Amino acid sequence: MREQDDRGRTPSSPTGRIPQWVHDEMAQALAPPDPWRSWSPREPRRRKRRNWSTIGGAALVVCIVGLGLVGAHFGVLPGGASVAGASPAPAMPSPGGNSSDDPLGTPMTPPAGGGSYAFVQHQDDGVTPVAYDPCRPVHYVVRPDNAPPGGETVIQSAVARMSQVTGLQFVDDGATDEDPTGQREAFQPDRYGDRWAPVLISWETVTEQPDFAADVAGLGGSQAVSAGDGPHVYVTGTVELDAADLTDFMTWPNGAAIARAIVLHELGHVVGLDHVVDPQQLMYASTSDVLDFAGGDLTGLAQLGAGSCEPQL
Ligand SMILES: [Zn+2]
């Protein structure tokens, strides 16, 4: 589909230089397939893109994807019993927590005409995207440290929009003092109880996230797990926001909309969208004057909101 059309071309920057993230992604594409059939902890995967675009006459740079597809260094038998954990503690929460029999919402019908979209990961059929379980809420917490004035409102607005277009029901679990790390555990019973850890949204300094010293305003991604031969399902994720960049944007005319677009883009990665080369889509890898999801984005998001319910996880 469009996705393959996009991937058939080698993206390059306006200068004609092939950015490093392209090399990174090509290297990933050539990597051998994941041999795991049971729970599938994956190695961290980070991609970068630096690019410049113009908003309101000022050059600014943004966006990156960081996929936190890690943290779960354990395995689970098809029946759900934990094995091979580094510690004797349970490696996953009790299955089916907070799960309903039916999807909690319905994805928005995408506009006719569509557009480019791509998924971060696919199931073994190579077609079906890895997605969150629509039969349970997607909980999230915000670490408020370093937040710009108005930042919380921006997050709430972006989450509401994501919920509207995917049908996924996001639940605000409030503030957290959990600090983002590169090896975040998907199950943190001491902090969050007997459930998957909520999605963590944080405003970070350059000290915390060295990528933000470069032309990057945000990172987003999720962790997928599977039980036995079942499909991979996202169970938690992270959004990392460059506190300095977004604090600056928020002072611009229309700055809140720009910041919201960045959060939306990163949430797009969280629910499973990858970058596309079409600058008319919000999932284009750098900022532009596109401030909301476009036709291709919405087409992909509708599929990501219609994943399978997996109560065994
Ligand atoms: Zn991105």
pLDDT band with cut points at 50, 70 and 90 for residue 139: very high
Is it the case that residue 275 has pLDDT exceeding 50? Answer: yes
CA 312 to ligand 1 center in whole angstroms:
31
**Greater pLDDT, 289 or 261:** 261
CA 137 to ligand 1 center in whole angstroms:
24
CA 88 to ligand 1 center in whole angstroms:
37
CA 311 to ligand 1 center in whole angstroms:
30
Report the pLDDT averaged over residues 251-272: 96
Question: What percentage of the chain carries pLDDT values higher than 70?
Answer: 71
CA 107 to ligand 1 center in whole angstroms:
22
The Cα angle at residue 205 between residues 202 and 206, in degrees rounded to 5 = 130
pLDDT at 183: 86
Is it the case that residue 117 has pLDDT exceeding 50? Answer: yes
Give 8-50 pLDDT, tens digit per residue. Answer: 333 333 443 333 433 333 333 332 222 222 222 232 223 333 2
CA 269 to ligand 1 center in whole angstroms:
7
pLDDT band with cut points at 50, 70 and 90 for residue 67: very low
CA 273 to ligand 1 center in whole angstroms:
9
pLDDT band with cut points at 50, 70 and 90 for residue 3: very low
CA 236 to ligand 1 center in whole angstroms:
18
Torsion-angle region of residue 266: left (phi > 0), alpha (psi -120 to 50) or beta?
alpha
CA 49 to ligand 1 center in whole angstroms:
8
CA 28 to ligand 1 center in whole angstroms:
16
Indicate the pTM of the whole model. 0.76
CA 50 to ligand 1 center in whole angstroms:
10
The number of angstroms, rounded, from the C-alpha of 268 to the middle of its chain's C-alpha atoms is 6
CA 62 to ligand 1 center in whole angstroms:
9
- Residue ranges and CATH numbers for the domains of the chain are 2-90+98-304 (3.40.390.10)
pLDDT at 89: 57
Question: What percentage of the chain carries pLDDT values higher than 90?
Answer: 62
CA 283 to ligand 1 center in whole angstroms:
6
Give 282-297 pLDDT, tens digit per residue. Answer: 999 988 889 999 999 9
Give 159-206 pLDDT, tens digit per residue. Answer: 999 999 999 999 999 999 999 998 899 999 999 999 999 999 999 999
CA 260 to ligand 1 center in whole angstroms:
14
Secondary structure of the chain as H, E, C letters:
CHHHHHHCCCCCCCCCCCCHHHHHHHHHHCCCCCCCCCCCCCCCEEECCCCEEEECCEEEECCCEEECCCCCCCEECCCCCEECCCCCCCCCCCCCCCCCCCCCCCCCCCCCCCCCCCECCECCCCCCECEECCCCCEEEEEECCCCCCCHHHHHHHHHHHHHHHHCCCEEEEEECCCCCCCCCCCCCHHHHCCCCCCEEEEEECCCCCHHHHCCCCEEEEEEEECCCCCCCEEEEEEEEEEHHHHHHHCCCCCHHHHHHHHHHHHHHHHHCECCECCCCCCCECCCCCCCCCCHHHHHHHHHHCCCCCCCCC
pLDDT band with cut points at 50, 70 and 90 for residue 81: very low
Q: Residue 239 phi/psi, 5° resolution? A: -125, 120
CA 265 to ligand 1 center in whole angstroms:
6
CA 279 to ligand 1 center in whole angstroms:
12
CA 220 to ligand 1 center in whole angstroms:
7
